[in-house]
Amino acid sequence: MLSFLLVAAAYLLGAFYLQRPKIVGRPSGIGKKYAVSMILYIIPFLVTILILSDSLLTAVLFLLTVLATHLIYFTGCGRNIPSERGGLPVFACAHTANVILLFLCAYVIDSESMLYSRVTDLLSSLFGNSADLYLYLLLSVLICVAPASELVRRTMDHFCPEAASCDRKDDSDGLGATIGVYERIIILILGFMGWYVAIAFVITAKSIARFKQFEDRRFVERFMIGTFTSILIPIVLLFIMEQIF
């Protein structure tokens, strides 16, 4: 389980958190942008492969898989290169294909390196038998921030494209997206603690805050699609957690 969690964390960091517009968008040519994006993408995977395997052949095969997934990511749904490349279907298909490829690679890797054993021993001493559970919770928090925000935005743009430009002007300071992040993390924490009834109060509070804007039909449609998509993400993560752990 640890190998899958490490690969998933590396993918989230490389595809969402390290791809900063100020860094990737600085070079002028597409080739330079691709090179900078690839370097940022590979960094967390290098750490992962050092933990998982001592075999040079395994490391090379894993890095080749990583390069293939980056090519799919860059050409299909690069988050900021440019930011509007690829709609929701392309975004979903590209990331799904990449996760499947990386998980298959993690499955065949022989996770018996000395460093891997030390990491598992350290986690066991800190968290006992619940180490995988807490790592999954940390991974879920990572999903609920940048990847979930991108998915919610692309979903709203896909189903309500006519209101997209107006919505970006109204949320130019990013407060709406930040509220969505807090909403997903709070729901995740409440579900983890078993306080499912309290989740309804979080959704109600968000609706009350936007009550005066409900007279605009386009806003209501975009708000409902964004809210349902945002809420669905932590609920799916909680469901997976209950099935596995």
Note the pLDDT tens digit of each residue in 96-128.
888 898 888 877 776 666 777 778 888 888 888
- What is the arithmetic mean of pLDDT over 30-34? 81
Q: Per-residue pLDDT tens for 173-224?
A: 567 788 899 999 999 999 999 888 888 888 888 777 677 666 777 778 888 8
Q: Exposed, middle or buried, 61 (CB in 10 Å: 0-12/13-18/19+)?
A: middle
The residues, ordered by sequence, that sit 6+ positions from 173 with a Cβ below 8 Å of its Cβ are: none
pTM: 0.86
What is d(CA 226, CA 159) in angstroms, rounded to the nearest whole number? Answer: 10
